């Protein structure tokens, strides 16, 4: 039996919504509405979503007017408890039947593995869509990713902005509902100034046309964005230039207007003497204007603005925008002139007066730590150490300039300009700008050697500092940008193919931070002692960091989790392309060996991927798993604690520290254990040599030869013999076997 279906439309009309969140809210609203329809079984077609500064809307094609018939299946008490000895229903059976609204005789008996139970089985007609849709929309609105909701008027409704109207129709009919203190109807509202009156929507299909033709509103976000892009490009072309169109600015401007109209404006040519980034930041970030450049890439004294109104006097709108931007550019020119009256180096002393974080001291402390790290990293990478150290001395100084105080997004960028004006070398100046890179996903990496060393040092210090005060990210909260720092660090090391002992430099960064924390702790203690002598008993709120937990491994693990995501993302891409890729088990197997360098990690992972294609790989993985389990049980029996990444994931270096690593050759009694020992001894030197040269494929290929003697050992030898000497000797043999493989990866973590 076919069910009648009609289009469904819901629109929530509000005060102006936050522009940076608008498109995300639109997509989330549509996804939640569709998910709600699917959950209750209402058949539907495709969905379209709309958003403007004053509305969120979803249109779903061909939504069923009736839910399908619903089957009901409830399990009641066991038959043994439902009836007494004479077969009469007990209170349990009567209560269950009453809750189902039927007599006991209507219940069924069904056999299950645990016995016979009473069941209520029935069907009921599906609910009409008019009953289901209001709750679906309510749940979708409640589920929107709104960090902070607001109230308005005297009601209890909460939403991202006050709600003024609600349109909810299926076909031509209004869905009776009241949401967010507003009663649903079939009217929308057009442009706030061009068409402020209510507009009736006869059907969902006419919604977009009604708003465009009668309401002067382009409701579709993507269409509005495309129109803005074309209009801005055309306006720039009429000026003989090209508009600087960025995705972020296009999205934000699209979210600010309902009826876009592109207009050009101009400013005095004298402002072109300002650094390019200052002009662009003023126009784009502060005014939401599009800058214009000529065919040679030089900025023109012009801009394009997108108005939300089609004025009868466009010249007045143009003049208004020019009048607004002029003071901003005048301020920027003043800051530029004033800042250059002092060198960056002359500002370094004042960094000690600026707090980086209450428990971590000043920006001066941070700059000195970064300088020490940058110099050592540069030396390790065979870069010029003095250049990296000089850049580190100056890299935070532009934070004290008036320009960066007014335009924080220009930190680093202005540092480069001021350094060049001071006569610093081009590499030092570039490193000051590059040490913040990459600022976001997909952004360029530092290119100069000093910039690379400084960027790594800055990110390591950030991680070490925040972990040291136990303020690491929790859930989705990451106020200090540690995930961004870790991902940036990984990108630099991986994409630049840098050979760096990451674990050693994490430890060095932690050491420098701890030294500063201890110094601040002692200074605070001296201050408290002085206050006590003068009768001032005020206690410092600064906490001691002397007893901070060992955090080197925490930071390493944190970075490795980001690396895991990097490899899994690559694996997804490779899977779509139909090629083999590392699995999470392979990643864990390599991680267990604790590689110090990311290039080393990658080499091990590639070798392991190739090894797993060998016919012996599965058996060897199973043998390693068995070895790890035996060693772990032996360690547990001896009362030892497992260590590493987790006892359930496989063996590691510390799980059986009390087991003697030396094998008593004379104590090997069974031919199978003698053969295994001889095979291991023959492979020890060539495998160690291959590992030292990072020829991991070669090493794993040699270790594959151990397959037959390992199988024979487990088939013919009782490891946990009652004789303690035999047992200890065989455990030592397995420990050496495990160590051979652990030089590359922990195969016990692989399926097998």
- CA–CA distance, 236 with 291 (Å, rounded to integer): 9
Alpha carbons 205 and 721: distance in angstroms, whole number: 80
Domain boundaries 345-533, corresponding CATH code = 1.10.3210
SS (H, E, C) 461-481: HHHHHHHHCCCCCECCECCCC
**Is residue 467's pLDDT more than 90?**
yes
Q: Which range among 154-168, 229-243, 465-479, 726-740 shows the weakest confidence by mean pLDDT?
A: 465-479
Give the C-alpha separation, 485 to 460, whole Å.
8
pLDDT band at 324 (very low <50, low <70, confident <90, very high): very high
Q: How far apart are the C-alpha atoms of 394 and 412, rounded to whole Å?
A: 10
Closest CA to 39 of 67, 12, 74: 67
Which strands sit side by side in the sheet containing 242-243, from one edge to the other? 242-243, 290-293, 299-307, 261-266
> Mean pLDDT, the chain, as a whole number?
89
Q: What average pLDDT does range 59-64 have in this prediction? A: 96
Closest CA to 303 of 321, 330, 323: 321
H or E stretch including 743?
none
CB atoms within 10 A of CB 742: 22
Between 167 and 747, whose confidence is greater?
Answer: 167
CB atoms within 10 A of CB 511: 13
pLDDT digits (tens, 9 = 90+) for 589-598: 999 999 989 9
Q: Which of 551, 390, 407 is nearest to 467 (CA)?
A: 551
**Separation of alpha carbons 143 and 29, rounded Å:** 8
Q: Which CATH number fits domain 5-67+128-213: 3.30.310, 2.30.30, 2.60.40, 3.30.70?
A: 3.30.70
CATH C-level class of 609-749: mainly alpha
Q: What is the pLDDT of residue 155?
A: 86
Left, alpha or beta for 639 (phi > 0: left; psi -120 to 50: alpha)? Answer: left
- Which range has the worst mean pLDDT, 279-293, 314-328, 421-435, 524-538? 524-538
User: Which has the higher per-residue pLDDT, 153 or 413?
Assistant: 413
Instruction: Report d(CA 137, CA 340) in Å as an integer.
Output: 58
Mean pLDDT, residues 50-72 taken together: 93
Question: C-alpha 41: how far from its chain's center?
Answer: 33
d(CA 503, CA 591): 13
Percent of the chain predicted with pLDDT > 90:
73
Mean pLDDT confidence for 694-716: 92
Q: Where are the domains of the chain?
A: 5-67+128-213, 70-124, 221-339, 345-533, 609-749
Query: Do 345-533 and 609-749 show the same overall fold?
Result: no
Residue 153: is its pLDDT beyond 80?
A: yes
Query: With 0-12 CB in 10 A as exposed, 13-18 as middle and 19+ as buried, what is 659?
Result: middle
Q: What is the pLDDT of residue 642?
A: 40
């Amino acid at each position: 039996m076919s069910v009648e279906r009609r289009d469904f439309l819901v629109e929530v009309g509000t005060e102006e919504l936050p522009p940076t969140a608008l498109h995300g809210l639109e997509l989330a609203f549509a996804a939640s509405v569709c998910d709600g329809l699917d959950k209750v079984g209402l058949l539907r077609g495709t969905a379209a979503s709309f958003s403007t500064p004053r509305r969120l809307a979803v249109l779903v094609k061909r939504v069923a007017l009736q839910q399908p018939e619903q089957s009901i299946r409830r399990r009641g008490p066991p038959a043994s408890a439902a009836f007494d000895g004479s077969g009469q229903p007990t209170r349990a059976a009567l209560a269950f039947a009453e809750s189902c609204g039927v007599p006991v005789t209507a219940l069924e008996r069904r056999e299950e593995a645990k016995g016979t139970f009473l069941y209520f089985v029935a069907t009921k007609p599906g609910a009409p869509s008019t009953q289901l849709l209001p709750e679906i929309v309510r749940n979708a609105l409640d589920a929107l990713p709104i960090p902070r909701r607001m109230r308005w008027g005297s009601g209890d409704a909460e939403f991202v902005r006050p709600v003024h109207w609600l349109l909810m129709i299926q076909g031509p009919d209004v869905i009776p509902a009241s949401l967010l203190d507003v009663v649903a109807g079939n009217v929308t509202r057009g442009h706030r100034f061009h068409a402020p009156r209510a507009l009736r929507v006869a059907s969902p299909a006419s919604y977009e046309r009604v708003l465009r033709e009668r309401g002067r509103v382009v409701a579709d976000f993507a269409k509005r964005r495309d129109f803005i892009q074309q209009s801005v490009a055309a306006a720039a072309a009429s000026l003989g230039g090209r508009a600087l169109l960025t995705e972020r600015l296009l999205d934000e401007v699209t979210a600010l207007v309902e009826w876009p109209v592109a207009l050009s404006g101009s400013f005095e040519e004298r402002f072109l003497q300002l650094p390019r980034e200052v002009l662009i930041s003023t126009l784009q970030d502060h005014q939401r204007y599009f800058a214009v450049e000529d065919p040679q890439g030089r900025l023109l004294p012009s801009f394009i603005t997108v108005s939300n109104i089609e004025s009868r006097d466009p010249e007045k709108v143009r003049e208004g925008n020019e009048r607004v931007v002029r003071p901003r550019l005048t301020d920027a020119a003043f800051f530029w002139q004033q800042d250059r009256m002092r060198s960056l180096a002359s500002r370094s002393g004042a960094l000690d007066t600026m707090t980086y974080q209450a428990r971590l001291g000043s920006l001066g402390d941070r700059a000195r730590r970064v300088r020490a790290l940058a110099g050592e990293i540069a030396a390790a990478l065979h870069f010029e150490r003095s250049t990296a150290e000089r850049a580190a001395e100056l890299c935070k100084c532009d934070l004290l300039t008036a320009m960066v105080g007014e335009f924080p997004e220009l930190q680093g960028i202005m540092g480069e300009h001021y350094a060049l004006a001071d006569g610093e070398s081009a590499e030092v100046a570039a490193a000051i700008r590059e040490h913040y890179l990459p600022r976001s996903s997909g952004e360029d990496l530092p290119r100069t050697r000093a910039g690379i060393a400084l960027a790594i040092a800055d990110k390591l210090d950030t991680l070490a500092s925040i972990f040291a005060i136990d303020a690491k990210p929790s859930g989705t909260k990451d106020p200090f940008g540690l995930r961004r720092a870790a991902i940036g660090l990984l990108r630099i090391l991986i994409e630049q193919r840098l050979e760096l002992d990451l674990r050693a430099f994490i430890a060095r960064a932690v050491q420098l931070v701890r030294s500063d924390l201890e110094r601040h702790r002692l200074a605070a203690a001296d201050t408290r002692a002085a206050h006590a002598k003068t009768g001032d008993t005020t206690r410092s709120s600064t906490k001691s960091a002397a007893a901070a937990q060992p955090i080197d491994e925490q930071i390493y693990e944190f970075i490795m989790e980001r690396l895991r995501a990097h490899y899994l993302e690559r694996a997804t891409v490779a899977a779509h392309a139909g090629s083999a890729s590392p699995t999470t088990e392979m990643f864990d197997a390599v991680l267990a060996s604790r590689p110090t360098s990311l290039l080393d990690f990658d080499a091990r992972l590639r070798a392991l991927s190739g090894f797993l294609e060998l016919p012996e790989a599965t058996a060897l993985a199973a043998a390693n798993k068995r070895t790890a389990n035996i060693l772990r049980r032996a360690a547990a029996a001896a009362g030892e604690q497992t260590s590493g990444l987790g006892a359930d994931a496989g063996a590691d270096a510390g799980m059986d520290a009390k087991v003697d690593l030396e094998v008593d050759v004379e104590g090997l009694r069974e031919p199978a254990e003698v053969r295994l020992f001889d095979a291991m001894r023959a492979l020890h030197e060539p495998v160690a040599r291959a590992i030292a040269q990072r020829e991991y494929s070669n090493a794993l290929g040699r270790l594959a030869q151990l397959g037959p003697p390992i199988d024979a050992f487990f088939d013919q030898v009782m490891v946990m013999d009652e004789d303690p000497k035999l047992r200890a000797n065989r455990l030592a043999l397995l420990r050496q076997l495990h160590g051979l493989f652990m030089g590359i990866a922990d195969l016990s973590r692989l399926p097998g």
